[in-house]
Amino acid sequence: MITLYTNFNAVCGQKIEFLLNHSALDYNKIDVNLRNGEQHQSVFLKLNPAAQVPVLLDDDKIVLESNEICRYLDTYLLDEHYSQCDPVLLNQWLDQVHTAIHPACSVISWSLAIRPAMLNKTLEALKQHFANIPDAERRKRQQRAFELGLELPELHQAIATYQHFVCSMRDQLSITPWLAGDQISLADFCVIPYLIRLEHLSFNSIIDRFPEVCNWLSQIKLERGFEQVFILNYPSGFIQQWQQYGLQAKL
């Protein structure tokens, strides 16, 4: 049986878990508490020295990076294949998520919602958290988001990146019912967590002005596994708290 190391609120892990649940593949899930720094403990660093979720363990094989995990599952383990779509479109969506939307999502999430929780940590705990981040660029981004919060200059650019991305979704969904063709594919699984994050931060207005995207979102919410990953996995009150953080930001 495969094992997925993830966190209930990690967008890059949610795409994997949604894909697994949708395909009804049996797997073991180990939740990594990111706020408590479990990703920096030696047992996890042996799996991924970058100290990031998700990590997929298939017997002795370790697969890192969420897009690669999706492709690995689709190629080797899933009975139903989700890459039987337009390969050019699929690669474009996965690349946009990796290079643009995930960094933008990180900036918005940290500035609006993660920062308030981190403010409750002691100064020593904060220093240790940042010191444990192995990637210097990621460490710098998190530190800036923590120090500047809503004053972070990159925050408005991140929102603009999201707006451009959702416009691209509108353009494609006016042609095909799903992002890479006539059937749900890896593209849809990889994109959906980032739109749900907008809802969790009360940024619905970025989505609501595009009926094509709203229809896609309504359809994917009916798919098997969605409710478990994006609703039931969350502790009581967590989503409501994040939505309140987004409303308080008033960007």
pLDDT of residue 70 exceeding 70: yes
- For 153-207, write each residue's pLDDT tens digit: 999 999 999 999 999 999 999 999 999 999 999 999 999 999 999 999 999 999 9
Task: From 205, 208, 212, select the one nearest 171 (Cα to Cα).
Answer: 212
CATH of 2-77, one of 3.40.30.10, 3.40.50.300, 3.40.1350.10, 3.20.20.220: 3.40.30.10
Which run of H or of E encompasses 4? Answer: strand 2-6
Please tell me the distance from the alpha carbon of residue 32 to that of residue 53, in angstroms, as a whole number: 8
Average pLDDT of span 99-110: 96
Q: Are 54 and 72 in contact (CB under 8 A)?
A: no
Return the axis-axis angle of helices 186-200 and 87-96, rounded to nearest 10°.
Answer: 30
Q: In the chain, what are the domain boundaries? A: 2-77, 87-249
Average pLDDT of span 62-88: 92
pTM, 2 dp: 0.94
188 burial level (CB within 10 Å; 0-12, 13-18, 19+): buried
pLDDT band (50, 70, 90) for residue 251: low
pLDDT of residue 177: 97
pLDDT of residue 54: 98
CATH 1.20.1050.10 given to domain 87-249? yes
Which tokens is 243 given? 């939505």
What DSSP line would sit under 50-103, residue for residue?
T--S-EEEETTEEEESHHHHHHHIIIII-SS-S--S-HHHHHHHHHHIIIIIHH
R_g of the chain computed on alpha carbons: 18
Task: From 55, 43, 63, select the one nearest 17 (Cα to Cα).
Answer: 55
Please tell me the distance from the alpha carbon of residue 50 to that of residue 44, in angstroms, as a whole number: 10
pLDDT of residue 49 exceeding 90: yes
- Report the chain's mean pLDDT, rounded to a whole number: 94
